[in-house]
Structure formats: C-alpha cells, structure tokens
Structure 1
Amino acid sequence: MTNKESPKENSQNAKAYYRNLTRNMIATMVTVSFAPMIVVIVFLLYQFHLSYFEKTYAHLQELVQKHKQNIDTFLDEKLANIQFLVQSSSLERLTDRSILQAKLRYLQEQYGDVFVDLGVVDETGKQLAYAGPYELQDVGYFEASWFKAAIAKDFYISDVFMGFRGTPHFIITVRWQRQDKTYILRTTIDFQYFNTLVENLRVGRTGYAFILNSEGRFQTRPVFEKALWEKTYDYFIRRMDASDRLVEVIELPDESGTTHIYAIAGLKNGDWLMIFKQEKFDAFSDIYRMFQFAGIIFLVGAAGIGLMAFLLTKRMVRRIMSADKEKARLNQQMIETGKLASVGELAAGIAHEINNPVAIMVEEAGWIEDLLQEEEFAQSENLEEFRRALRQIATQGRRCKEITHKLLSFARKTDATVKDVQINDLITEIVDLSAQMARYNKVIIATELQPGLPYVCLAPSEMQQVMLNLINNAIDAMDKTGGTINISTKISKLEENHIVITVEDDGPGIPEANLNRIFDPFFTTKAVGKGTGLGLSICYGIIEKMGGKIDVTSTVNQGTRFRIWIPIQAAGKDSSEKK
C-alpha cells in the first residue's frame, strides 16, 4: 500500500487548486474594485436623494403658497369691490333695479364675467332688488344657511352650493345698516372662473389641486378626485386651523396603498383648505429615472469590472500555471541531470575498473605470444591459430582501452584549463564518440577537415561540450528519419586569423520565427522533459568567452547550418611541430 498519488489524482488536484485560485483572485479583485465604488455611490445617491426631496418639498410649498395668495387676493378684491359699492351708493340707488343693473355692467366691464349678479336683501331675507341673468326678484332667503351666516357678519364668503339656480356657485356679501334696518348686498362669483384659478395648479402627470370646506365637501371641481378616503379626510379636518398661514407638506397612503404627497394651505381665514395632491412616484419620477440610469451604469460598470477581473485572472492564472509547469520541468531536469551525473560517475568508475583487467589481459596475451616462441611450441599444429587468437585479443583489448579512455576523458570532471589544441583532433575524437548514437538514428557524420590548421588556445573540455551539443541537436532534429551531418574546418576568409567550424545537417530546419531565440536561455522546441533550453545558450557563452562567435542559418525542410569562428592565438606552434 502506498501514499503516493496517481498522475490522474495529481492532475485533478492541480485543476482544483487553479480553480480555487481563480475564484479567490476574481473575488478579491471584484471586492477591491466594488467596495469603494459602492460606498461612494450609496453616499452620493443618499445625499442627492435628501437634497432633491428637500428641494421638491420646498418647491411645492412655494407653489401652493403662491396660489393660496392669489386665491385669497382674488376673494379679498371681490369683497372690496362690493364694499365700495355699499360705501359709494345710497340705499335708494342700490334698490333701484336699473341702477343696480348698471353697477353690475360696470363690474363686468372692469373685471370680466367674474361677477354673475348683484342683489340687495333686507333683514327678513327678501331680495329687494336683483340684477343678473336669473329671475330672482323678490326671492326669499330667510331659510337659506348663507343668509343666516351673512346677516350676522359684516362681510361673508359662502361655501359652494346649488341654490335656486341649480348650478354650483358661491356668494360674497356685505352687511350695512340704514335707519335702524340691516341690509345685505350680495354678489355671485362665477364658479368656472374661480375653479380655473385652482385647476391651473398642475404639476407632472398626477399633480393637481382642489379646495375643501370644513365639512370635507369640494369647493372646486377636482380633476380626478371623486371622494376622499375617510382617514385622509379626518386628517385634513384636523389641520384646518394649523394650515391657515403655513403650507404643510405631508405624505399619506390611500386605501390602495399608493403614497401621495399633499401640500395643504388654508383659505378664507381657515374655512377652506386648498390641497395639492400628487403621487409620490410621479413627484420624484426624475430622481427615480436618475436612479435607474445610475443603476444601469453601475450594472454595465460591474459587468465590465467582472469581465476584466475574469480575463485578467485567467491570464494571470495561466501564467502561474505556465510558471509552475516550467518550475516542475526544471526540477525534473535537475533530477535528470543529477541522474546523468550519477550515471556519468558510475560509467567513469566502471570504465576505470574495466580498464585494469583489459590491460592485464593484453599483457598476458603478449606473454603467451612470447611463450609460443619457445622450441616446444614451435612444432605445434595450432601455432598459427594461437598467434591469430592472440593478435585478436591484443587488438580488441587495445580497442576496449581506447573506448574506456575516451569515456573517462569525457565523463570525468573536467576543468577549464586553457591549452593549445589541434581542433581537427578534437573534432575527430567527438565524432568517434558520437558514431554509435548516429548509427542508431540512421545518421551519417561526414567530416571535411582542412589539414595543417594551426593550434588554437582554448579549454578542450568546453570545446568538446560545444561540438557534442551541436551534433546531438542535429541527430535529435532528424528524429530517426536519417540524414547526414557534415562537419568541416578551414581558415576563415571573412574573419582574419580565425578558424571556422561548420556543422551542417539536412534535417527539418528551424522556423524563421525561432531563429532569433535559439540562443536564449531555456528556449527549446523539444518536448517537455527532452530539453532544457540551455545547451545552445551555454555554447554561445563558451564561444563568446573564447573571443569567437557563432551564428546559425536555417531553411525549413532543407536543413540547418551552424558556423563557429575561433580566433587563432599566437601560440607559436603549428601542426608540423606537434608531430
């Protein structure tokens, strides 16, 4: 039983980790983005809401107050007109019908059809004189409620009532005395004109005004109102006296639950109430539309922030995933490198251990050959076979020794000691070392080495690493499909005092987009786990350190060519001197 997780479980755990990371990052980004924005928006909208409500209420108060003053002024002016008639005319003239008719025409000429008629009534309620469109001469008003109120006051403005004429109207009266008798001059005010004064107060879609008396009856014809809800009616009646001078704005629901704004103002010394009524939603429709618009903008902004948070998070998580994969790959490569180093040390140890028995075997074979020279073996029938076998043992022993020698020289820890090196010999050694892998991959390594090249001053182990890396890369590129690697050396004609080494293959080539990056650290086109992306970068660094340079040209499906220029140091030696 093992505690190790399977690759499938590792993959599922990794996916769950990145999903949680994505959610957490999105939540963090959205919270950080939205929190201050929501606080600011709520604060500003709340302040704007308060300010807008205050200004709306103040506007309604001002509007209703203005109309209240206009109506009160209208009633006071009409009362003053009647008072002037009483003060400027004698009883005899006022009771003369023709003169009273002339007075009415004068009032109508001056003020329009506001004054419907005029009448003089004595203290018994009998109308002594009448001027107007109706047949009301000698009509008795003793039982009329307005007469009972008017006879007791110096002046009086009645409620709206139907009366003898059968149409809604109200009257204004002035009382005076002559010869110990009381008389009343009355006038009927045109209801349509008066109603227009109130109807003109219209705001929005549902805002309108109407007038109530102390009993809750309409004194004007309302636009929409048919009857007041009982609770609303009771509240208005209680506010009669308090609303005489001030305009009060309140909010009340109706029986359906709809909230209305009421602006209340007293008229006619508190006997009437002018009420402005408007649905709250209609009154604040502008701010509600602004809230809706702000909400739409907020939603659009929220969608934009959410989308950007999602896209940025996805992008960041992808980068994190890529970095984690690269880290895991590098860790795996480090492990593989450690394994290879261990294998190299093991191979060096094995080569060393094999080298000793092989040397003994070769020496023993030589000793046996010497024994065969003695007389007792000279006549042996198998003497030539023995000598052939001994020559084969010596040959294969030397071959083993060469192989182990090369393996030891490359596998052991090398230093970067600079010395004079014959570059052709070094390349030949590397080619021999790579021959077996080339044959396995159906690759032919051909060399064209210019003889007599001067020695160069460099670290042999580093140059071995460069050449081996280029050869291995070429073999890997052909991927067992076979091909040819051509390695050549010569004195450069372009760069004075330089040897140029060319490593060229006829493999698949390198795409042009990758050519400028192949010397970058960790850049590789090999599959994960097959390359570190450090080989060519290290080669570039080694050549640069030598004072040389390296370049690459490649054509897709035709092949790749690397060229290395190595400076010729003044070593004072040539190939002939080394022989």
Structure 2
Amino acid sequence: MEPNITEDKTYYHTLRRNMLITVVVVSFMPLIFVSGIILYHFQTSYTEKVAAHIESLVNQHRLQIDTFLKERQNDILFLTDSYTFRELSDEAFLRKTFDIIRKEHGQVFQDLGVVDHEGRQVAYVGPYRLEKASYAGADWFRSAIKEHAYISDVFSGLRGTPHFIVASRGEWNGNPYILRATVDFQYFNRVVQEIRMGETGSAFIVNRKAELQTETSLDISKDDELLRNLMEQALKTKGDVQINVLEGDKTRAEKLYATGLLNNGNWALIYRQRMNDAFAEIYRTWWIALAVFIAGAVAIVTMAVIVSRRMIGRIKAADGEKEMMNQQVIESNRLASLGEMAAGIAHEINNPVAIMVEEAGWISDLLDEAEFHESENLDEFRTSLGQIKKQGIRCRDITHKLLSFARRSESERQLIKINDMVEEVVGLFSHQAKYSNVRIVTKYAEDLPYVHASQTELQQVLFNLINNALDALRPTGGKIVIMTGCEENMAVIEVKDNGPGIPRANLMRIFDPFYTTKPVGKGTGLGLSICYGILNNMGGKITVASSMGIGTNFRVFIPHQDMLPEAAPDSPPAAETALTETHQSPIGSP
C-alpha cells in the first residue's frame, strides 16, 4: 500500500506550525515578564533617585540662599542694636561703618542709609544721589516701619535698576527709624543661577504674587497662575520642598517643578526642568530595551523556525536518526572544546609576547656592539626597545589578570620596590601636570623594605590619588608632593596637594561608593572606594587629612615583607578618616 503523500505533507506542516507557535510563545512569555519587571523596577528606582537628587539640590540651595539673606539681615540688625540714631545719622560715621562692612563681606551691599519715621533719608552712603530721598510713599518703607527686621521684594525704585532692601527698625526719642541697605542684585542673581542640571534645568525666585525676584532665561510669561499655585502649595506644606510633574499641551513639553520657600515664606525658589531631560536616562533605557527586545524576538523566531525544521527533518529522516545523533554529539564536544579554547586564548597570547620581549632583548644586545655605537639614532633605538619590552611585560600582566579573573583566583602578588613603582606612575602624569600648571615633587626614603602585593593594584591606587589631586589643582595650578617612608611595620606612600581642600562634612563620605562632589557627568564616585577595597584586602589602610584653603593629604599604608597580609589579623583595619583641621606633617624632610 502506497503512503499518502498529501496527508504526510499536511501532518508535517501542522506539526511544524504547532511546534513553531509553542517555541515562540514559551520563549516570549519569560522574556516579556522578566523584561517588564526589570524595566518597571529600574524606572521606579531611577525616578525616585532623580526626584531625591533634585529635592536635595533645591533644598541645599534654598538653605544657602536663606542663610545669605539672614546673614545680611543680621548685619543690619547688629548696627541698629549697637549704635544710636545720632551716631548712624552722622554721615562720616555711617561711611566708616559702610566701609568696614564692605571690607568684611565684599561688594554685597551697594549702599547704606538712615530713614527717619517720616520717611526722609537723613544720612546716606553709596554711589547714587539719594541723600535727601523721601520714602514715605514707598511700599517697602510702610512695611519695614512695622517690623523689627524686613527684606523687601525686588523693585526698581528711585535708582531705576532692580534691587531689594534689607532693613531693621530702631527707636530714638520715642520715634522709630529705619537703617536700610541695598543688596547687589547681580550678586544675588548669580547665586540662584548656579542651580542647573542637565540641559534645561534651572531655577528662579518668585514672591507671593508670582513676580520674578531674579532673572531667568526661561519663558514663564504664561505661568502666573501655575506659579501662584506652586507658592500656595509650598505654604501649605510648611516649607518642605515639593516635587510636581505638570503635563504640557501640544506646544509645551511636560515639566518637573521643585518648590521651596525662602525669606520666611515671602519668596519661593522654583526649579524647573523638562521631563525628557530630567529622565533622559529612563527614555534611553527604554529605547535600548526595545532594541534588545526586537533583536531577541528576531532571534527567537529565527531559532524557532530553524528548530522546527530540524525536528521535522529528523522525524522524516528516521533512517538517518542515529547518524544525526552522532553528529550532534560531535558538535557538542566541539562546542565544549571551543569553550576551553576561549579560556586559553589569553594564555596563548603570552607566547608571541614572550618572543617579542626576547627579540627586543636580543636586538638590545646587538646595539651594544661597536658598529652601532656611532649611530645617531642609537638612543632612540634603545628607548624604543625599552618601550617594546615594557609593553610586552604589560601585555603579559594583562593576560594574567584576565586568566585570574576567569579562574576567580587572587591577583598575582610579587615583591615590589615602592620607590620604583611610584616613579613609574608619576611618569605617566608628567605631561598632564605640565599643561595643568602643576608641579609634582617626589621625596623617597632610602632602604625601604619590599612589599608583597599586586603591582597593578598598587599602581591603580596611586593613579587614582594623583589624578584626584590634579583635578583639585587644575583650575589654579599648584604643587603635589609624593613621599615614601616606613611607619609602624608599614610602608607608607603619601600624596599631598596644596589645593582648595575637602570640606569637613564630606570627609566622612569620600570612601563611600558612588559618592562624588564633581558635577553631574564628571565623576563616578568609585575611585577612592576602589582604593579602600584594594588596600583593605592587602591588610593595609588609607587615611586622609584636609584643611580648607591649605590642601589635602592622603596616606597609604601597606604591610611590608616583615608583615605580609597572610600574617595580618583576621579583620584587617578599616580605612581611617582623619578629621583634622590642621595640615598633617609629611614623612621625612619637611
């Protein structure tokens, strides 16, 4: 009986179609499920992180601006509390007082004046001709005469330029008087404009009437009602920074607003940024995830088609099953061998590198022969050969490190001369220091003991410390002093700069992962954390001492040959942070 060829084709076609659908559905379900969960948690955590960062940024600058205003207010209050109306109304005395204030605080105050209870300015010091000005009808005067201390809104007034008044009220012979000062608007405006993040994030200040108190490049001409609502919301929350996301229309993009109160609730600091800028990383991640998903979908469908065809082919070719199974076993063995070969590639690279280093040494020996001594390029040949040998050794170290990582083994440790290692790393920074107007000074102690450690890891520690010092000195130039020594059974490397120093509040956190004081996009916050981990694993430690305006001093302690890490205590000492306000004494000669 002849087999029904048509039925066979229909059967195999149906079987292949069902197998294809099953493979695709089974493969897509976990892909969609896992991808959705990961993206959801990433978006949630990143959104919270961005919101927290913006809230922290606004709150920090809000406190900074409030502190600035209160300090200026206290300066004026001090004068009214310390001197009488008669003394302050003496223009010679007032000018002397004004000069002292400007000498102490810079050009923050533009002028200083004394106004009697009728609004007449009886004494004035400043660049404007306001000696006999009358403020009886001015809004700020009517408000200031009722309060002990007062800060006005920004207005043009008699001088015709934006400014605001800081005033305090005093009493003389039963009548009130006002000591008022004008704050430099441009200085105050610059403090606010420093609040920037991303491409569209910036800040401005408004009063309760939604009137601008600082300059801004943002278009807020249509946002009066919105700004008033943000101000009212901030007042209801008693000063906490509020984050709002407001949807835009077809012509205005969705924006994020952060609002914090200033000046006892009379002003509000408002930070605005487009959502697509604030959460650009999320959108970028979504596009990447979409691309990966599409690529995965194509791969799944392709593999499903291939697998279904192969399976049907195997069923149809029953007589060739054994041969195909044998072939599959062979292919599996080849794949396993390929995996082992991949693990050995790094090892095989060492062979040509070793030949390269050996040949470089042989050529170096040839250059010692008399026939090459008169060559004009002899020094260049030797330098190039030295570089070939050095880079060959470096390649060997890199491949060894790759093998160590693949086999999860310890980094190769060896006996290291501290001074030679330091000199090699310092040489990497010679050109960079020159163009940054930074001078690197090295002071090496003699007869230092060997240390038993990974040279590449120690080089990474020293590289990070010198690089950080260069970053601190790059704006102004300066000096980096690198010293070696021995202290308490430890070899010590000291990296000291005369840069601006690290604020006391930041010292406790500089070894935390991802903590950085650099602008967004300029730093990862991992350098010092990695240094801490490397030294901690060696049984060593790292300390820091810093003084604002004087500089920063890092000290690295490494067990030397007489105290190897294997002989160190079970719990190696943690990195210490020296919270000192005085400069630390160096090792060796001052």
Task: Tell me which interval the TM-score lies in, with the shorter structure as reference length.
Answer: 0.5 to 0.7
SS of the counterpart of 2:285? helix
Q: Which residue does the alignment assign to 2:203?
A: 209
Alignment of 1:397-408 (within 5 A): none
In the aligned structure 2, how far is the partner of 1:249 from the partner of 1:298? 33
How far apart are 1:96 and its partner, in Å?
1.6
In the aligned structure 2, how far is the partner of 1:96 from the partner of 1:281? 58
Aligned: 1:321 with 2:321: no
SS of the counterpart of 1:152? coil
Q: Which residue does the alignment assign to 2:278?
A: 283
Q: Which residue does the alignment assign to 2:484?
A: none
Q: Which residue does the alignment assign to 2:124?
A: 130
Alignment of 1:71-110 (within 5 A): 71-110=65-104
Provide the aligned length of Structure 1 versus Structure 2.
320
Alignment of 1:375-454 (within 5 A): none
**Retained in 1: the 8 A contact 2:81–2:170?**
no
How far apart are 1:287 and its partner, in Å?
1.9
Q: Which residue does the alignment assign to 1:270?
A: 265
In the aligned structure 2, how far is the partner of 1:323 from the partner of 1:70? 82
**Retained in 2: the 8 A contact 1:243–1:270?**
no
Aligned: 1:297 with 2:292: yes
Q: Which residue does the alignment assign to 2:485?
A: none
Deviations 1:79-107 (A, max 9, x none): 00111111222222211222212222221
AA aligned to 1:192 is: Q
**Retained in 1: the 8 A contact 2:241–2:258?**
yes
**Retained in 2: the 8 A contact 1:244–1:265?**
no
**Retained in 1: the 8 A contact 2:115–2:177?**
yes
CA gap of 1:234–1:254, structure 2 versus 1, over 3 A, is farther
In the aligned structure 2, how far is the partner of 1:125 from the partner of 1:300? 77
How far apart are 1:32 and its partner, in Å?
1.1
SS of the counterpart of 1:164? helix
**Retained in 1: the 8 A contact 2:314–2:320?**
no
SS of the counterpart of 2:216? coil
Q: State which of 45, 52, 62 in structure 1 corresponds to 2:39.
A: 45
How far apart are 1:320 and its partner, in Å?
2.5
Relative to the length of structure 1, the TM-score reads 0.53
Deviations 1:235-270 (A, max 9, x none): 224224224421111111234352211111111111
AA aligned to 1:273 is: A
How far apart are 1:233 and its partner, in Å?
2.9
Deviations 1:348-407 (A, max 9, x none): xxxxxxxxxxxxxxxxxxxxxxxxxxxxxxxxxxxxxxxxxxxxxxxxxxxxxxxxxxxx
AA aligned to 1:41 is: S
Note the residue ranges of structure 1 that are not aligned, 5 or more in a row: 327-579
Deviations 1:179-202 (A, max 9, x none): 112110000001111111111110
CA gap of 1:288–1:59, structure 2 versus 1, over 3 A, is same
Deviations 1:202-244 (A, max 9, x none): 0111111111111111111113233243542342242242244
In the aligned structure 2, how far is the partner of 1:126 from the partner of 1:53? 55
In the aligned structure 2, how far is the partner of 1:192 from the partner of 1:118? 17
In the aligned structure 2, how far is the partner of 1:142 from the partner of 1:12? 107
Deviations 1:64-91 (A, max 9, x none): 1111111110000000011111122222
Note the residue ranges of structure 2 that are not aligned, 5 or more in a row: 322-590
In the aligned structure 2, how far is the partner of 1:18 from the partner of 1:137? 104
Percent sequence identity over matched residues? 41
Larger-Rg structure: 1
CA gap of 1:301–1:240, structure 2 versus 1, over 3 A, is closer
AA aligned to 2:176 is: T
Q: Which residue does the alignment assign to 1:36?
A: 30
In the aligned structure 2, how far is the partner of 1:13 from the partner of 1:191? 91
Q: Which residue does the alignment assign to 1:155?
A: 149
AA aligned to 1:85 is: L
Q: Which residue does the alignment assign to 1:221?
A: 215
Superposition RMSD in Å = 2.2
- Mean CA deviation greater in 14-23 or 119-128: 14-23
In the aligned structure 2, how far is the partner of 1:230 from the partner of 1:189? 26
Q: Which residue does the alignment assign to 2:460?
A: none
AA aligned to 1:251 is: V
In the aligned structure 2, how far is the partner of 1:286 from the partner of 1:273? 29
- Mean CA deviation greater in 112-121 or 285-294: 285-294
How far apart are 1:30 and its partner, in Å?
1.3
SS of the counterpart of 2:235? coil
